[in-house]
Every structure is written in structure tokens, then in C-alpha cells.
Amino acid sequence: MRQALVLTAALMLSGALSTVPTFANAQSLPASLIADPPQDKAHPAGMIAFALPTHGVKINAMLYTAAGAGAHPTVLLLHGFPGNEQNLDLARAMQREGWNVLTMHYRGAWGSRGDYTITHCIEDAEAALAWLRAPTSEAAAGIDPARIAIVGHSMGGFVTAYVAGHDTRLMGAALISAWDISHTDGTLPRDQVIKDNEENLLNDAGMHTLGDATDAGLADEILANAKRWDLKPFAPTLASHPLLVITSDDGLAPTDNALAAAVAAQPGAKVTSLHLATDHGYNDQRIALAAAVIRWLETLPGGAG
């Protein structure tokens, strides 16, 4: 059975389609967005800062642990390029909803050791999933290694799609304004790619977020891997678990929608798409964004609650 569920912001507010999972309106927001849950003094919610091992180094990571006894499902939440927006409001909402949430800074990013490259971002996400499936921290008893979903924004959305396109064991994958590197940069002149990178990194303005990574070095990596990083060939594997695709008015919607359509065309696919009329950071739609992610998580078999 093919299931391609396409939402608009208006449908999210009206709940007009019975075949579409009901997303929140102003009167029925998920409780996790408007109120703290009852305290569990025996098994309280928490946060654990730790060094996540990946390819011979350790990177900065934070595990937000859900309240309650026993093992919980977990979301790996991936930030973008360079990661000014970490979406920690989403992390806290998911934690209140009963999910553990693992966030991290890729190698070379925001003080993490190692060299920053897009390839390393992919490898670090895979290392994070491996750690969640065999956790070695004080939180191990609270992590169910069989119940893991992945959510990513911007470049983190690209990494999410790439990793989920190679991993059938995930509960689901959610892309928030995913950056399709192969489409946006595969045919652009190198000078334009360098310029686009600098607009994000702001190295010339004194920002230093990605270690020794340079605009030119990252541009060369992107151009060299554009074909290999085309996401559409991964559609069959992406269709093996539920997929959420959220877009905005940032120019990335056409490629994200094309990927959603390619996945939806696969047998058994379960694709939910939502467009919010806002910017790349969802600055005036944070509640709507969080509600969409929470409502989608509620549809996953084996989720919290």
C-alpha cells in the first residue's frame, strides 16, 4: 500500500483530511509544547554531557533523557551547517514527550576535536547511531536500542536522508529543510559554491565555528561528491521506514518535494509532507514545527506514550 500524505499549513490547522495524521491547531497543541509533565522523582528527566567516540576521536555530545522507568525510544537530532540553529526547543519537547534525544557537534564543529568535512558529518551520525545501539554510559538502561529515529535540519537533513537511505533499522526519519547537496551545488561554478559557503560560515566576519575548515576546501569536497550524494537513488531504503519532509520558503522545497515524491512512489512508503510559510530557521513557526515533529513521532510504531 502506498501512502503519500501531503499537508499544507492550512490543513495542519484545520485537520480537514481524515487520512492525514492530525496535526495540532491552536486549541490542541501537544501537551509537551505547553506544559511540563508530572515530575517523576524516582526516575527524573535529565541531561548528560559526554564525549561520543567516532573514528578515533571523541566529539561533544549531549543526551537529554526522558523521565520514567525503563528503556525509552530515542531521537538522534542533527544540526546544520554550521549549526547556529541547534533546534534544542525540539529536543526539549521530544524529551517531555517521553523520548531521549541525542545531539552532537560533528568533528571540527563548535569545539569538537577532529577535522570538519561533510563526509565526517555523515560518519559521525553513523557513529552516533552505533553508540545508541550499544550505549556505554550511565544512561544505557534508559535507551532502547531497537527504537531509534533520526531528525535533521538543513545540512543535518541531508545527513539524515543519506544515513536513513542506508539503514533499514531506524523507526523513522524526519527532514527539516534538507539541503540537497547534489542539486544545489553539483552544477554550480566553484566560485559560487565558495561564496555560498562563506555566507553560512562567516569566517571573513570573524566567526570560527568549524575549526580549520575553509570555504574553498568544503566547496571542493561538495563538488567532488555531488553525484555520490544524490539522495533520490536511496528512495527504496528511505521507504522502508516512515519519512517526514518539512519544507519552508527558503528555496529548498523543490528538491525536498522531489525526494518525497520519489520515496512515496516506492511500494509500502509512508511519507508525510508539510510546508510552512517561513524562513530557513523557522523563526516565526517554531511551535508549528515542533507540533509537526511531535505529532509525527506519535504515529511511529513503538514510539513513546
| Mean pLDDT along residues 98-116 | 97
Q: Which of residues 1 and 268 earns the better pLDDT score?
A: 268
Q: Among the listed ranges 114-123, 178-187, 212-221, which one has the minimum average pLDDT value?
A: 178-187
Residue 182: predicted pLDDT: 80
Q: How high is the pLDDT of residue 296?
A: 97
pLDDT attached to residue 38 = 92
Asked whether residue 185 carries a pLDDT value surpassing 80, the answer given is: no
Average pLDDT for 55-74: 97
Average pLDDT over residues 204-212: 86
Number of other CB atoms surrounding residue 208 within 10 Å: 12
Per-residue pLDDT at 4 exceeds 60 = no
- The pLDDT score that the predictor gives to residue 24 is 42
**Residues constituting the chain:** 305
CATH superfamily of this structure's domain 3-28+44-180+231-298: Alpha/Beta hydrolase fold, catalytic domain (3.40.50.1820)
Residue 18 has pLDDT above 50, yes or no: no
Cβ–Cβ < 8 Å for 33, 93: yes
What DSSP string runs through 164-186? HTT-TT-SEEEEES---HHHHHT
Round the CA-based radius of gyration of the chain to a whole number and report it: 19
Q: How far apart are CA 70 and CA 68, in angstroms?
A: 7
Indicate the pTM of the whole model. 0.89
Q: Among 166-170, 183-187, 295-299, which is the least confidently predicted range?
A: 183-187
Segment 259-264 long-range contacts (CB within 8 Å, at least 24 positions apart) = 259/161, 259/175, 259/178, 259/180, 259/231, 259/232, 259/235, 260/4, 261/4, 262/232, 262/235, 263/235, 263/238, 263/239, 264/2, 264/3, 264/4, 264/239
Mean pLDDT over 48-66 rounds to 97
Domain ranges of the chain: 3-28+44-180+231-298, 189-229
Average pLDDT of span 50-62: 97
From the list 238, 248, 300, the residue with the least C-alpha distance to 274 is 248
